């Protein structure tokens, strides 16, 4: 399966999780995700993050956002 197809299928789970946890629209969830470091790594084939489970990728994203919100480096 092509990386783009895998990414698209994984996003079908990640985006609704972001929408639910951050109470935002689909467009806002996509923007939040792709403007994050996690989203950047997810888009980069060389990291292999696209091949991880949606829950794992979401947990990385969630941790990243929480660190930003609480002033952690």
Mean pLDDT, to the nearest integer, of 23-32?
97
Give the count of domains, the chain.
Answer: 1
- Domain housing 54: 3-69
Contact yes or no for 36/22 (Cβ under 8 A): no
pLDDT, tens digit (0-9, with 9 covering 90-100), for 3-23: 878 898 999 999 999 999 999
Q: Which residues contact 46 (CB under 8 A, 6 or more apart)?
A: none
Alpha-carbon span 15 to 31, nearest angstrom = 10
Task: Tokens for 39, please give them.
Answer: 């989203």
For every residue of 31-64, DSSP letters joined together read HHHHTSHHHHHHH-GGG-GGGS-HHHHHHHHHHH
Count CB neighbours of 18 within 10 A: 23
pTM of the prediction?
Answer: 0.86
Mean pLDDT, to the nearest integer, of 32-59?
95
């Amino acid at each position: 399966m092509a990386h783009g197809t895998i990414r698209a299928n994984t996003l079908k789970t990640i985006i609704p999780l972001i929408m639910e946890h951050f109470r935002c629209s689909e467009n806002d969830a996509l923007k939040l995700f792709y403007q994050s470091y996690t989203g950047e790594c997810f888009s980069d084939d060389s990291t292999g993050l696209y091949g991880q489970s949606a829950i794992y990728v979401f947990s990385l994203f969630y941790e990243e956002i929480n660190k930003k919100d609480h002033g952690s480096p």
